[in-house]
Structure 1
């Protein structure tokens, strides 16, 4: 079996100047197309929702739109937990809570269903990239607003040249790879 480091190296490619000039997009589609590599990554992500004996310690796994969905749903299945999508404003059909946050190039709003969590539920947050931390921070506010407890946040890729980890300094954050 390949090492996790090799799986990530093989599965994440840089796309320069996408979606705009000066940005280097981290494309994970090669990883997603690699069954063995994707399965390995899902299990490593799921480890953030387990105790030292390998037992699940979370009730729900949150995926942040859009690539976070792809990663979080199989993690939830692996942990025997429910999956909760956190979506862009206007995409969820029932009553929602919303949080707005600043982006490098504007503002955005994310939402979660008001009944997505039972108070006291333990939650693992999964996303693809930690950049400035704004999206994750807003997501954590939503979860806590519902009365749930955030156990950990785990991301596939952390961009160390942006202040995401600093912004989330009070949180338990794990990244599989830091660039």
Structure 2
């Protein structure tokens, strides 16, 4: 497993001062460019899910990079995928939650009939920073009485404390900075 994690880590680039000065942006797009790297990420998530959970009903992906990993993982597991998007992007009746960003607020939403009470779900995204977006997704799912088993991310920026904001929900990250 260490070899696979090293391979994934070597596929992540850092761009200094993006999107603003002082921010070291972690770029996961080279993983998507390399079929072996992408397969390795999905392999690692699949191994973790199969060894950690008896039952998972749905993978929930966050707009937009959670959409890149979530459907692939769901397909491997033989289960469904549902999106959580930015406000105004989904048709039909929706539910939404307002959450805090560093200097503003945002709103996440999902279709009202996306999950049913009691369904066991895992939430996936590319990166965990301060935890606001993942928190909003978990909140939406809990409002629908789904059981949020945990969150999966490729990269976690530990110093920003996002995992703490999500407690008691567990976070499984492949790479930590």
Is TM (by shorter chain) over 0.5?
Answer: yes
Structure 1 runs of 4+ with >6 Å offset:
none
CA distance in 2 between counterparts of 1:136 and 1:43 reads: 22
Residue 139 of structure 2 is matched in structure 1 by 141
Q: Conserved in 2, the CA contact under 8 Å of 1:50 and 1:58?
A: no
Do the aligned residues in 2 keep the contact of 1:10 with 1:31 (CA within 8 Å)? no
Secondary structure at the aligned position of 2:167 is classed as coil
Alignment partner, residue 166 of structure 2: 168
2:9–2:175: 8 Å Cα contact kept in structure 1? Answer: no
Corresponding position of 2:76: 78
- List alignment gaps of at least 5 residues for structure 1: none
**For 1:114-142, what per-residue CA distance to the aligned partner results, in whole angstroms no more than 9, with x for missing partners?**
10012111101111111111111110010
The DSSP-based 3-state class of the residue aligned with 2:168 is coil
**Structure 2 unaligned runs (5+)?**
none
Please, what TM-score do these two structures have when normalized by structure 1?
Answer: 0.93
Matched, 1:40 2:52: no
From the superposition, tell whether residues 5 and 168 of structure 1 become closer, same or farther in structure 2 (CA, over 3 Å). same
User: Which residue of 99, 121, 124 corresponds with 1:126?
Assistant: 124
Preserved contact between residue 86 and residue 111 of structure 1 (Cα < 8 Å): yes
Contact 2:8 2:40 in 1 (8 A): no
Please report the TM-score for the alignment, with normalisation by the length of structure 2: 0.94
Deviations 1:91-115 (A, max 9, x none): 0011111011111121111001010
Once residues 80 and 44 of structure 2 are traced to their aligned partners in structure 1, the CA distance between those partners, rounded to angstroms, is 18
Cα pair 1:7 1:31 within 8 Å, conserved: no
Partner of 1:159: 157
User: What is the number of equivalent residue pairs in this alignment?
Assistant: 177
CA RMSD, aligned part only? 1.7
